[in-house]
Amino acid sequence: DADVTQTPRNRITKTGKRIMLECSQTKGHDRMYWYRQDPGLGLRLIYYSFDVKDINKGEISDGYSVSRQAQAKFSLSLESAIPNQTALYFCATSVDGQETQYFGPGTRLLVL
Amino acid sequence: EDQVTQSPEALRLQEGESSSLNCSYTVSGLRGLFWYRQDPGKGPEFLFTLYSAGEEKEKERLKATLTKKESFLHITAPKPEDSATYLCAVGEGGTYKYIFGTGTRLKVLA
């Protein structure tokens, strides 16, 4: 079984709809991250969380919110989706004190 | 401004034809330089972390090196299964921020 899972893997939604992307991990890592990947751009950090009570904005947090429901679960919400949020979204985890990040398989989101 | 630039954007090699991928960076204090491999439809997979100039890491046909301004990923005698996008990222000193490059798409032909 995969250590970092994301649901759904693909999602099509309409402008203005609220959607949630979910990430779960069985690695026991404290730190979790949400990134988006766009063609021609590097991965960009949306939000990160170092534990359940610690959530921080990344470089492109506008239009997004997150919830850390448990050590193993980190959800990303788009309150009112817009077409330029069409992208590939990745969740990642890491261990406190180590730099290596472990990525999930991604969610491909299309906002019409 | 902190940034990471990878070159070339795309590279086609014949099986067995060795080459190098480049990652040049500008960052305020390097907390680490990371190489990842990304296959189509999948998340990035960790390859190497380098922390200081002169450091080298090897894994099978891959070897990563680091200087004060750039890193190279050397691919020796590549095979078709090495085809993927290779991503470079740097950790910015004093922050928890990682800056990713746009990647090099490698295609190895049999």
Percent above pLDDT 90 for chain B: 82
Chain A CA closest to residue B42: A105
Contacting residues of A for B34, CB less than 8 Å apart = 99-101
pLDDT mean across residues, chain B? 94
Mean pLDDT in residue range B50-75: 95
Sites in chain A below the pLDDT cut of 50:
none
B104-109/B10-14 β-pairing: parallel
**Contact between chains at B102 and A40 (C-beta distance less than 8 A):** yes
End-to-end C-alpha distance for chain B, whole angstroms:
41
pLDDT over threshold 90, residue B28: no
pLDDT at B41: 86
- Mutating which of B95, B98, B104 best tests the A interface, going by the most A Cβ atoms within 10 A? B98
pLDDT at A99: 79
**DSSP classification of residue B64:** E
pLDDT at A1: 54
pLDDT digits (tens, 9 = 90+) for B66-90: 998 999 999 999 999 999 999 999 9
pLDDT digits (tens, 9 = 90+) for B36-52: 999 998 999 999 999 99
| Dihedral of alpha carbons A52, A53, A54, A56, sign | positive
pLDDT at B92: 83
pLDDT at A2: 63
Residue pair B97/B13 in contact by the 8 Å Cβ criterion: no
**For residues B3 and B95, which has the higher predicted lDDT (pLDDT)?**
B3
